[in-house]
Amino acid sequence: MSGKPVFQRILLKLSGEALMGPLAFGISPDVMGFLAHEIKGVVESGVQVALVVGGGNIFRGEGLAHAGMDRVTGDHMGMLATVINALALQDAIERVGVPVRVQSALRINEVCEDYIRRKAVRHLEKGRVVIFSAGTGNPFFTTDSAAALRAIEINADLMLKATKVDGIYTADPKKHADARKYEQLTYDEALSRRLGVMDQTAMVLCRDHGVHLCVYDMERPKALQAIVCGDATIGTHVR
């Protein structure tokens, strides 16, 4: 596979849980360091990189609501958790020498920029990684929906969803030995088979706006680089 990227602008969705690594809660410095190097490689090959980060390693509104908390308050806590993760990611990526800007869909001017689409695109054009935090800024949504929304807004050529398995399977490959990996899928197939790639709101947004999605194994070294260089054997592509 040649080292020349075939995608110019990507949006990578990282779940909060992805940042935990082997920990039961919080952020693993090892995972952050690994991700920072993977992202640096892609940026240095000339690809514009935007990130959307989740917050499930800290708080999820739904979980807090189950424990009796007001759902909207829980979602606000969840969104703020994504800002914490975004700041940690910003730090890790800047430590490997790549400039980063965090933008938030909720106003927290002292710690990061507000989400302004045109400003985000300008940062990307200048080679800065942009991390979109606080989801959509609205309760009752997920960061998968935020990722779909931002990918569409910034005209990303490819949206990637980082997971712990190398794509979408007919069943959970960790529980079913006969589970088969899909190389490619349409959104309608993924929706009708209830494959649980992302929540339905995110899937429908992606489908209706023609987002090219790749679900891949974030723990595989250089997978991100190979995907942006057009290696279609890695992960599952949904269109």
Write out the residues near ligand UDP by the rule CB under 6 A: 15-17, 54-56, 60-62, 74-75, 78-79, 81-82, 135-136, 138-139, 141-144, 146
Question: Taking CB positions, which residue lies at the least distance from ligand UDP?
Answer: 54
CA distance 101 to 5: 23
| Residues paired with 9 in a beta bridge | 48
- Least Å distance, CB 81 to ligand UDP, is 6
For the CB of residue 105, give the shortest distance to ligand UDP in the complex, in Å: 7
Whether 140 has a binding-site annotation, put simply, is yes
Give the nearer residue to ligand UDP in terms of CB position, either 54 or 167: 54
- Which CB atom, from 159 or from 226, has the smaller least distance to ligand UDP? 159
Given a contact cutoff of 8 angstroms between Cβ atoms, the answer to whether 101 and 131 are in contact is yes
Q: Whose Cβ is closer to ligand UDP: residue 77's or residue 232's?
A: 77
Note whether 214 and 227 are within 8 A (CB): yes
The answer to the question of whether 136 is labelled as a binding residue is yes
Q: Is 141 annotated as a binding residue?
A: yes
Least distance (Å) from ligand UDP to the CB of residue 46?
28
Q: Is 85 a known ligand-binding residue?
A: no
> What does the alpha-carbon distance between residue 151 and residue 238 come to, in Å, rounded to a whole number?
14
7 belongs to an annotated ligand binding site: no
Tell me the residue ranges of DSSP E strands in 70-188.
100-104, 113-114, 129-133, 158-163, 168-169, 181-182, 184-185
Residue 228: other Cβ atoms inside 10 A:
25
For residue 127, give the 3-state DSSP assignment: coil
Give 105 or 124: the residue with its C-beta nearer to ligand UDP: 105
Half-sphere exposure of 75 (CA within 13 A, CB side): 13
Give the residue ranges of the annotated binding site. Answer: 13-16, 55-56, 60, 75, 136-143, 163, 169, 172
Give the residue ranges of the annotated binding site for UMP. Answer: 55, 75, 136-143
